Each structure stands twice: as structure tokens, then as C-alpha cells.
Structure 1
Amino acid sequence: MEISARIILALGLASLFVSSTTVAAAADAVFGYGNGPNGPQHWGSLNPQWRLCNGGGRQSPINIAKENITDRPKPETLARDYADAKATLVNNGYNIMVRYDEGVGTAFIEEKNYSLQQVHWHMPSEHTLNGERYDAELHMVHKKDNFYAVVAILYKIGHPDTFLNQLMDGLEKLAKEKCSDNQEASVPVGVIDNKSLRRSTKKYYRYEGSLTAPPCNEGVIWSILGKVREMSPAQAAALRAPLAEAYRNNSRPIQPSNGRSVWMVDEGKNKEDGPDA
């Protein structure tokens, strides 16, 4: 069964305003994390355009559990081809993003070539493997027309990450920048080497879900890489530093799977082995 990924979304959710407790987003609505009145359990009531956040049936993130994994009808290699490209580090208020200034490459997903638009981080991870949450999660957002696909990489604290190494100076500068009313803070970082992002993987999990922040549009194709990578404590701290305190833990809670299948492609192991780290 082919996944349909139809959504209409303005990437970046327009401009944002950071304070110590809230982020002002599109339509003057605000959303946050934690248990406050603007927390994830209330997103759907903050803006009529965000109603899917609390009323949708195919929301993300989910727990990737062994018992939910099914055979992939048409196994496909997650082929990705990224080139070096100019980029800008952005603090949009609720996460840190690398936004590419030009074409960087594509991922071949569900028989379509999706162009990589940006990457951003959530800490701790949003998706879990067999109930285990990791220290961070990278989302690589791809687009084709009005179709979206996200490739996610999970991280644990350990050795420095090659991709993040080249962003450390930019993150330090970004931490000194301040967002003002209806603006985002940004720092150009020049040409970024994206080879480590396209590192081949033999194992990934796929399902149909949603954006993990408002407006929570559904129909997004998710590919969660099975190999958990590492980042250093200093890199994790640098990713959090530019954000206001209330957004340094910016992970949406796990959403009900509602009977959705999770497909696994693993060229080296059998499905019965289930998720691993």
C-alpha cells in the first residue's frame, strides 16, 4: 500500500517571537512544551488551523515497537544524494534549524524524488524505539510539490558528530543573537559538507504520520533510521544554548498509533529481531 503524503504547509511556520515562556507563531497563536496552558495537550485549541494536533488520528511521533512492525510490501533502499551547499543556522524560537540557501540534493522515497529543504533538532528524541527515548533527534525535511517526507536520525550522548562539528562556531554566534518581535535569529555558516547526512543505512522504519509541531498536518512520510548515532555533551549543549529555557526540551509526547503499521526495511537482519540501538 503506497503512502499518500499530501499536506499544504509553509515550512518554518512564518516568523516567531521568543520570550522566556512562549513562542509567538502564525496567526498570533502561541505554543509551548511542558504541562502549561500552551503545552502539547492544548495545541489543537490554540488556533483553528491547528485542530489536528489534538483531533487527528495519524499524529507523530510514535513509539516504534516490535509488535507493530509489519513486512514492507515493496522494500526499497532509502537512497539519498546530498551535495555541499550554502546554509544558514536559524533559531526559530522552538528549535535550531539548518536552512539551505540553494539546492542540496534529494531522497528517493515512495517512488518520488524529494528535495532536502532543511534539518532541525529536537531534544530529547521525539520518536522512541521499544519505549526507549534518546538524547536527540534530527529531522531532515524533504519536499516535492506539496508532498513532504522526513528522515529522522536518533542520537545518544557519546563521541562528537561529524555534521555538528562544522556548526559549532555558528551555534556559539547564534546563542549571542536575540530574536525580536516577529523575527527569527540567524547566522550564515557558509558551505556545509553534507556527506555524513547521506551515510548509507541498511535499516529504517517507515510509517505515515504528521508534523510534530503545529499545525500538525498529517500525510507526512516518516523514515526513522535504525542506526543510533552519537553527539558529544558539548554539541548537545550548543544546540540548546540559543533557545529560551522553556524550549530547550522541545519534544512532543508520543502519540497513539491507532493501529498504524510500521514498515521495516533491513537488508541485514530479519524483521523478527525488532528495533535495536
Structure 2
Amino acid sequence: MSLRISFSVLAITLLLVGTSADDLVEELNSISFGYTGVHGPEKWGSLSPLFSACSNGKRQSPVNIVKNKVVRNKNLKPLTRDYSTANATLVNNGFNIGLFFEENVGVLVADGKNFSLKQMHWHSPSEHRINGEQFPTELHMVHKAADGSFAVVSILYQYGDADPLLSKIKNELNELAKEVCAKNEESHIPVKALDTKHMEKKTRKYYRYIGSLTTPPCTENVTWSILGKVRSISKEQVELLQAPLDSTCKKNSRPLQELNGRQIELFAELGDS
């Protein structure tokens, strides 16, 4: 089964595509995409002219990070993240699980520019790879600046101890798994007073490149920061993230994209490499 564009994707698309909202809604409601078969990633670009960047774009994501090919950039600064406690909504849009914030939950400062945290969602297995290694899960923290540009902080996870954030919303994830979505619907579970303060741990190392959204419309010029520290997640938590999803989207990772001459840069504090 393929999945129609959800409100979550539509909300981002409306900010990025230069067309009228009514026309865009009508067209998007008629489009389905998925991760297998005739609606899979290799076909996304042909599903709609709105998705042309998925096949024609030259700055697409995700990518493989080859450590001995990255360039250390001494002009990059530490990522400054200041998050707080806020109400959120846990959403199953059929192809991933996400947390969406209606109020101001915090700010990322990247290259001297402020980006507000809007949502975070998970992909399993990971979309980005390091030296070809794919990890069990990847979290995308999506931030938006006042000028409409996006910056995504990516966190990779390996199997081990339970992730603190997912532990906090375990009951809500279990509740979400009971909901059944139609192709063009979402399941929503409110999450009250979610504390995201622990997500702003000091960043000693990250990889930086300019890429795209990893789902249609695959819009480019997204600033990516992939944290160098791999965090831990339990197998039970990965299963909880996959349980509510359609059977064709339990593995919701877009294949690797070509760099096409792009350079991946490295920020590392003295002593890290």
C-alpha cells in the first residue's frame, strides 16, 4: 500500500512551493508515495511535477559520510541549542512517527542564524550512513528560520540502553499503535509538558552539508548537521516506532543520494577528529 501526502508534509510543502494553497492541496491529495513498488523512492520524481527535485535535484539527501573525505572547517561553530518544556502532538502520518510543536519549544543557532524547532521524526533504519554503516534509527529535528529556510539536526542511534526521549512517550507510542489510519489521514496523540531540555547536550562534533528533505517534495537547500556522537536506543523502542506504520513503511529510509561534487565539512573540538 502506498500512502497519500499527509497534513504534516503538506504543512512544510506550503512553505516551500510557489503555488496557490488551494491548487496545491487538491493536487497533493491525489498523490501517493511509499517506500516500495511503483510508488517507491526511485519513482518519487515521476509521481508529480511538484516532486521533480526527487529525481532531478543535485543536492539531495541522505548521503554517506566517508570520514577520510570530510574537510575540517575551522570556521564552523558549535551548535547552540536551547530547548524547553512544551506541549506536543505525537503523529502517525503513515510513513513515519513524529512529534509536532504548536508553541515555541526552543531555538537552534547555526552559523549565527536562529532556527525554531518545529518538529522531530524518526526513520528506521537510518537514512544517513557513516563509512557505509547504517544504524538502527535516525532522528531528524526540523528547525525553521524566519526567512523560511530549514536546518535539520540528525542524531544516529545504535542498539543499547533505552533512549530517554522515547522512554518519556512510551505510553503515547503504545496508544498510537492502536490507531488505524486511512491513506489520507493521520493519528494524533497529545503529549503534555514534554521536556526536551536533555536534547541540547553539548555538541563536540558534527558533519555539515547542504542537502534536501528526505521525503517528497525533496526540497533542496536544507542545512544538515549530523551529530558525531551516536546515541543508544533499545530494540523495543525501535519496534514501538515501527508498530503504528503501514507494513510497506516500517523500513522508511530513502536510499543514499549522490554528492554531486558537494563537500561534507566537519566541526570538531580540539582533540576530536
Normalising by structure 2, report the TM-score. Answer: 0.89
The runs of 5 or more residues in structure 1 that have no matched partner are 1-9, 16-24, 272-277
Q: Which amino acid aligns with 2:111?
A: E
**Structure 2 residue aligned with 1:112:** 113
Normalising by structure 1, report the TM-score. Answer: 0.88
Relative distance call for 1:260 and 1:168 in structure 2 (3 A) is: same
Q: Which amino acid aligns with 1:221?
A: T
Cα distance in 1 for partners of 2:245, 2:134 equals: 21
Relative distance call for 1:212 and 1:29 in structure 2 (3 A) is: same
Cα distance in 2 for partners of 1:203, 1:181 equals: 40
Indicate if the aligned counterparts of 1:80 and 1:198 stay in contact, CA closer than 8 A.
yes
**Structure 1 residue aligned with 2:80:** 79
**Structure 1 residue aligned with 2:18:** none
The runs of 5 or more residues in structure 2 that have no matched partner are 1-5, 12-26
Cα distance in 1 for partners of 2:10, 2:76 equals: 36
Indicate if the aligned counterparts of 1:72 and 1:265 stay in contact, CA closer than 8 A.
yes
**Structure 2 residue aligned with 1:245:** 247
SS at match of 2:173: helix
**Structure 2 residue aligned with 1:131:** 132
Runs (4+) off by over 4 Å: none
Q: Which amino acid aligns with 2:120?
A: V
Shift of 1:269: 3.3
Shift of 1:181: 5.4
Aligned length: 253
SS at match of 1:132: coil
Structure 1 position 50 matched with structure 2 position 51: yes
CA-to-aligned-CA distance 1:58-77 (integer Å, 9 cap, x gap): 00000011243113151201
Shift of 1:183: 2.0
Cα distance in 2 for partners of 1:152, 1:253 equals: 16
Indicate if the aligned counterparts of 1:27 and 1:47 stay in contact, CA closer than 8 A.
no
**Structure 2 residue aligned with 1:21:** none
Cα distance in 1 for partners of 2:180, 2:29 equals: 22
Shift of 1:93: 1.1
SS at match of 2:240: helix
Moved more, 176-185 or 48-57: 176-185
**Structure 1 residue aligned with 2:24:** none
SS at match of 1:170: helix
Cα distance in 1 for partners of 2:142, 2:95 equals: 16
1:216 aligns with one of 207, 218, 228: 218
Indicate if the aligned counterparts of 1:125 and 1:136 stay in contact, CA closer than 8 A.
yes
Indicate if the aligned counterparts of 2:106 and 2:116 stay in contact, CA closer than 8 A.
yes
Relative distance call for 1:73 and 1:201 in structure 2 (3 A) is: closer
**Structure 1 residue aligned with 2:19:** none
